[in-house]
């Protein structure tokens, strides 16, 4: 638990995120100011701005760095803060995204009053982010890294489409990916033990795609990766997994397993003639291509949740 001493908040707004509820951002800022805090608002103009702001902001001035955006913008801030050590500002969230998985995971309210209260009087959860790396780069994640069906869906949803259709963009793209489905097999090595899967999600969080549960025993504060293995393949099993997720039954579904570990390697075992780069989604954004090594990042970040 951490008291927030510096009563100044840097509010980073992604004006392109989710439903772009500017009214919520303004209402939160007004409530935080009413508690005697200083609030400095900065809008991002492109991907990468939020990461740079988080990496360079003055930790003596700002007790809290708040993100008004979705999981992708929060991911940028986590990447910017991960290397900064203990004195880095705590992270608050104004959930504006399409899925807002981290907000669900932290049990945040979605009203202006609840969001503002968490900023000024919340408790800080210390989290060691996950980190995925391949030959070309590395990226931290607060939620998950995934390969297989969901990563292909994410890779196929453009930002304008997400803005126009919201969550329906993912439903539409899932249907497209189901039509062109090929039974690609992935090798997933967890702490040196090999497994096979048709899809894999390596997660720090219980939730996925919003309020849905994929890893019932995961806890952000625990430095452990939960590796969700979808072990059956084919269109009908993919559909069954999707329905089970929406109905809250995925953890009890045959052919689905969660294995915990600290070091995970994901590669393509057989691409079933697909002949394309296999994407990796990180916190809901198309980020890397396979093969990747996944572990826990060296640093930690503090995430604010309700007291």
Given the complex with ligand ATP, which of 72 and 92 has the nearer CB atom? 72
Q: 4, 9, 10, 16: which one contacts ligand ATP (CB under 6 A)?
A: 16
Task: Give the largest Cα separation in the chain, rounded.
Answer: 61
- Give the CB-nearest residue to ligand ATP: 70
Q: Least distance to ligand ATP from the beta carbon of 57, Å?
A: 16
- 3-state helix, strand and coil shares in percent for the chain, rounded to the nearest 5: 30, 35, 40
Annotate each residue in 41-80 with x if it binds ligand ATP (CB under 6 A) or - if it does not, as one string.
---xxxx-xx------------------xxxxx--x----
Q: Which two tokens stand for residue 29?
A: 């800022």
Closest CA to 228 of 243, 209, 249, 214: 214
Q: Least distance to ligand ATP from the beta carbon of 50, Å?
A: 6
Number of residues that bind ligand ATP (CB under 6 A): 24
What is the C-alpha separation between 214 and 205, in angstroms, rounded? 8
203 lines the binding site for ligand ATP (CB under 6 A): no
Given the complex with ligand ATP, which of 16 and 238 has the nearer CB atom? 16
With b for 16 or more beta-carbon neighbours within 10 A and e for fewer, the 12-45 pattern comes to bbbebbbebbeebbebbbebbeeeebebeeeebe
Q: Which two tokens stand for residue 307?
A: 């007291």
CB atoms < 10 A from the CB of 194, how many? Answer: 10
Q: Where are the beta strands (DSSP E) in 74-118?
A: 90-95
Tell which positions 105-134 bind ligand ATP, by CB under 6 A: none
Q: 63, 89, 92, 97: which one contacts ligand ATP (CB under 6 A)?
A: 97
156 lines the binding site for ligand ATP (CB under 6 A): no
Tell which positions 253-292 bind ligand ATP, by CB under 6 A: 284-285
Q: Least distance to ligand ATP from the beta carbon of 285, Å?
A: 4
- Alpha helices by DSSP H, 137-234: 149-156, 159-165, 168-179
Q: Least distance to ligand ATP from the beta carbon of 17, Å?
A: 3
Q: Least distance to ligand ATP from the beta carbon of 136, Å?
A: 17
Q: Which residues contact 219 (CB under 8 A, 6 or more apart)?
A: 206
Residues of this chain that interact with ligand ATP (CB under 6 A) are: 14-18, 44-47, 49-50, 69-73, 76, 97-100, 162, 284-285
């Amino acid at each position: 638990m951490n008291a927030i001493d510096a009563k100044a908040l840097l509010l980073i707004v992604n004006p392109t995120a989710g439903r772009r509820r500017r009214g919520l951002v303004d209402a939160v800022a007004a409530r935080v100011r009413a508690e005697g805090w200083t609030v400095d608002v900065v809008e991002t103009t492109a991907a990468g701005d939020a990461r740079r702001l988080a990496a360079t902001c003055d930790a003596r001035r700002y007790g809290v760095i708040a993100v008004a955006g979705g999981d992708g913008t929060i991911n940028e801030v986590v990447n910017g803060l991960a290397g900064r050590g203990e004195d880095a500002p705590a992270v608050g969230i104004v959930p504006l995204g399409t899925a807002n998985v981290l907000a669900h995971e932290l049990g945040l309210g979605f009203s202006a009053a609840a969001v503002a209260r968490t900023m000024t009087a919340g408790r800080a959860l210390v989290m060691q982010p996950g980190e995925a790396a391949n030959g070309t780069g590395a990226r931290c994640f607060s939620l998950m890294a995934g390969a297989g069906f969901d990563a292909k869906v994410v890779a196929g949803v453009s930002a304008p489409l997400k803005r126009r259709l919201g969550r329906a963009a993912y439903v539409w793209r899932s249907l497209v990916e189901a039509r062109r489905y090929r039974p690609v097999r992935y090798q997933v090595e967890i702490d040196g033990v090999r497994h096979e899967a048709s899809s894999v999600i390596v997660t720090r969080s219980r939730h996925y795609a919003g309020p849905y549960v994929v890893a019932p025993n995961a806890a952000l504060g625990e430095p452990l990766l939960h590796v969700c293995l979808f072990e059956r393949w084919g269109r009908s099993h993919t559909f069954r997994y999707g329905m089970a997720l929406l109905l809250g039954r995925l953890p009890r579904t045959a052919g689905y397993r969660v294995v915990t570990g600290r070091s995970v390697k994901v590669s393509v075992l057989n691409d079933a003639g697909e002949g394309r780069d296999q994407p990796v989604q990180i916190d809901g954004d198309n980020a890397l291509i396979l093969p990747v090594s996944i572990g826990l990042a060296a640093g930690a970040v503090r995430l604010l949740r309700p007291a």
